[in-house]
Amino acid sequence: MQSFHTLERCHVTDSFHSAGKDNFSDEDDVFERPSSSRDSSANIGYESEPDEINFLKEQDSRPKVLITGAKGQLGVELVDLLQNDFDIMPTDIEEMDITNPDDVLANFTLFQPDLVVHAAAFTNVDSCETNQEEAFKVNAIGTQNLAIACQDFDTIMLYISTDYVFDGCSDKPYREYNQTRPLNVYGESKLMGEQIVRHLISKHFIIRTSWLFGAQGNNFVKTMLRLSAEKKEIGVVDDQWGRPTYASDLAQAVVQLINTPFYGTYHISNPEPTTWCRFTRKIFEIANRETKVNALTTEEYPTPAKRPAYSVLDSFYWQLRGFPPLRPWEEALADFMSHPAVIKEFPFLDRGPKEP
Ligand SMILES: NC(=O)c1ccc[n+]([C@@H]2O[C@H](COP(=O)([O-])OP(=O)(O)OC[C@H]3O[C@@H](n4cnc5c(N)ncnc54)[C@H](OP(=O)(O)O)[C@@H]3O)[C@@H](O)[C@H]2O)c1
């Protein structure tokens, strides 16, 4: 059996939890000062209540928020939530192909957004390996097109990034300032997107999240539920650690963050860490499925893209800033399983009306 923290797999063994440079460029600006134009009215001490600041809402009219990837699993939740308080423009590839600068410019000119929540991405980790050019085109060039437009229109950007910017050789959860070193093309292209955002836009938020599951779209939880209807026994990797994240909970965190001027990089996921195998066992327990789950090692389940063994995010800066931790993923998973859209897709989850 392979131990998931073996240092042989690491290129750097002793500097993971010291602030440092990644192998692309500066990470110095992971912690940022609030913009001087905004911070005069804001209490930036971390004992302050972040949601009291509400600086976007200080405007006379409803702030305008352009959402990319609006049909994706996170995008759907963002649209649902943001429309309550903001004037939103949901876009996906049909409305605005982010790889096309003219398309991006036309939409910015039309809508003049105050903020862009950028959730569009090429997210299929394995196909990024075989479609490298497309992965970089969407995740890096697409982000650059948006960042340039944000510069021109003085628009704030919130960029969604990933735990796969880390190599997973650490034995402690990754903080926002820890060294990045992606193992796969997806992680590299998302990291490049981060760097573009940091370098081009001073007023930006970067959220790194992990193991996303939402009621809309495809994800690991739905794949496991599907398999449970087909198989008596399955094997799932038990030596890759991470933190599952419910898209609806992340969307709520996005709303909390954009109402503050606390620009910078944040790790946001549901606690606590688990493995894909343990996650699956919990999925089947909540869903009352009898499929047996056997633990596999990464070697026993090779995939085109290498994955980090331990990409557990520490929401260090999020909590230091005074934001509350997200609820445990088990609670979020139970909510997911009772979501009408999920029950419609997996009727075996329907347990009828709840007893009074
Ligand atoms: N899923 C995860 O486990 C995970 C983990 C960590 C971080 N993240 C990040 O979280 C964000 C949201 O992820 P998600 O799971 O909600 O993604 P998703 O469901 O795959 O949604 C992404 C959306 O972006 C669209 N898109 C792709 N190329 C585009 C283009 N050129 N122009 C405009 N839109 C385009 C996709 O359209 P098509 O479907 O038509 O391609 C899709 O609707 C992403 O930035 C992702 O990198 C995800």
Return the SS3 of 160: strand
Please tell me the predicted confidence (pLDDT) of residue 351: 78
State the burial class of residue 110 (Cβ atoms within 10 Å of its Cβ: 0-12, 13-18, 19+): exposed
Q: For 25-38, what is the mean pLDDT?
A: 38
Question: Which ligand 1 atom is at minimum distance from the Cα of 247?
Answer: 16
Query: Distances in Å between the alpha carbon of 263 and those of 36, 129, 233, 247?
Result: 12, 32, 46, 21
How many other C-beta atoms are found inside a 10 Å radius of the C-beta of residue 94? 7
What burial letters (b/e) apply to 162-198, b meaning 16+ CB within 10 Å? bbbbbbbbbeebbbbbbbbbbbbbbbbbbbbbbbbbb
Residue 102 φ then ψ, to 5°: -65, -40
Q: For 109-131, what is the mean pLDDT?
A: 97
185-220 pLDDT tens trace: 999 999 999 999 999 999 999 999 999 999 998 999
What mean pLDDT value characterizes the chain? 86
What is the residue with the minimal CA distance to atom 8 of ligand 1?
162
What is the residue with the minimal CA distance to atom 38 of ligand 1?
93
What is the CA(69)–ligand 1 centre distance, in A?
A: 6
Which residues form ligand 1's pocket by a CB distance below 6 Å? 68-69, 71-75, 92-93, 97-99, 119-123, 138, 142, 160, 162, 190, 209-212, 217
What is the CA(38)–ligand 1 centre distance, in A?
A: 31
For each of the domains in the chain, give its residue range(s) and CATH number, in order of start: 7-218+245-272+312-326 (3.40.50.720)
The residue annotated as part of the active site, out of 159, 164, 174, 186, is 186
317 is catalytic: no
What is the CA(137)–ligand 1 centre distance, in A?
A: 13
Taking the C-alpha atoms of residue 17 and residue 30, their distance in angstroms, rounded to an integer, is: 14
Q: Higher pLDDT residue, 329 or 59?
A: 329
Question: Which helix (DSSP H) or strand (DSSP E) does residue 282 occupy?
Answer: helix 276-287
- Asked if residue 129 has pLDDT above 90, the reply is yes
- Asked if residue 29 has pLDDT above 90, the reply is no
Ligand 1 test: best mutation among 93, 100, 144, 185, most atoms within 8 Å of CB?
A: 93
- Asked if residue 48 has pLDDT above 70, the reply is no
How many other C-beta atoms are found inside a 10 Å radius of the C-beta of residue 269? 31
What burial letters (b/e) apply to 29-59, b meaning 16+ CB within 10 Å? ebebebeeebeeebeeeeeeebeebebbeee
Percent share of the chain, pLDDT over 90? 80
- Asked if residue 300 has pLDDT above 80, the reply is yes
Taking the C-alpha atoms of residue 206 and residue 158, their distance in angstroms, rounded to an integer, is: 6
What is the residue with the minimal CA distance to atom 41 of ligand 1?
122
Residue (of 162, 92, 160, 91) closest to 125 by Cα position: 162
- Least confident segment among 41-50, 173-182, 236-245: 41-50
Question: Which helix (DSSP H) or strand (DSSP E) does residue 207 occupy?
Answer: strand 204-209
Contact indicator for 241, 7 with CB cutoff of 8 Å? no
Contact indicator for 149, 108 with CB cutoff of 8 Å? yes
Find the angle CA(293)-CA(164)-CA(177) to the nearest 5 degrees: 130
Looking only at the bridges linking them, the beta strands covering 292-296 and 233-237 are parallel
What is the residue with the minimal CA distance to atom 29 of ligand 1?
93
Taking the C-alpha atoms of residue 186 and residue 137, their distance in angstroms, rounded to an integer, is: 11
